[in-house]
Structure 1
Amino acid sequence: MVVTADHIRDTLLTELAAAHVEVEDTSPDRCAASFKVLVVSSLFEGKSLLQRHRMVNACLVDELKGIHAFEQKTVTPEQWEKQKSQ
């Protein structure tokens, strides 16, 4: 299975009821081996960073098998608004 940035974005938007998702293919030749994601979801409210990352990983369990590197940032809508205003 070839994993694309669009596929990851769509999956996270759906599975985590995300308000905003950014996905960047950070592979040197854009070969879909390395990704960086930002996920904004109200489902992260009251969750630790580890719990949030586990939620993302659970959504992408099959996709992560074929990805070499995966960096994620997970924030609530309130945290996202604060970051945007800085």
Structure 2
Amino acid sequence: MAQVRERMTRTLAEEFSPSHLEVIDESHLHAGHAGARPEGETHFRVRITAEAFRGKTRLERHRMVNAAVARELAGPVHALAITAEAPA
């Protein structure tokens, strides 16, 4: 697991205690695009299910995730796709 991905995974796990969490590095799909670096770790997809999202709108859930990983978004991460849901 790469350094940025590890940090994001750890941060999201600590912040939300999710029942499901995937942090996927999709940087290879964006090679040559804006913000892409040869070493990767620039474009990520997060799929997270946590009780903390219950009753929240999609926008609120995305803001919560963005706030949790603000450090990475301010630095190495160029793009983050988010699917955040409450447990069924």
Normalising by structure 1, we get a TM-score of: 0.81
TM-superposed CA distance for 1:62, in Å, is 1.0
Root-mean-square deviation (CA, aligned residues, Å) is 1.7
Aligned partner of 1:68 among 47, 54, 78:
78
Match of 2:49 in 1: 40
Match of 2:19 in 1: 19
Give 5+ residue unaligned stretches, structure 2.
Answer: 29-37
Give 5+ residue unaligned stretches, structure 1.
Answer: 79-86
Count, aligned residues: 77
| Percent identity of paired positions between Structure 1 and Structure 2 | 35
Match of 1:81 in 2: none
- In the TM superposition, what whole-angstrom CA distance separates every residue of 1:27-81 from its partner, at most 9, and x where no partner exists? 0166101100101100100000000001001101111112111101001111xxx
CA distance in 2, matches of 1:63, 1:17: 19
Which one-letter code corresponds to 2:6 in the other structure?
D
Say if 1:36 and 1:71, in contact at 8 Å, map to a contact too: yes
Aligned partner of 1:77 among 59, 84, 87:
87
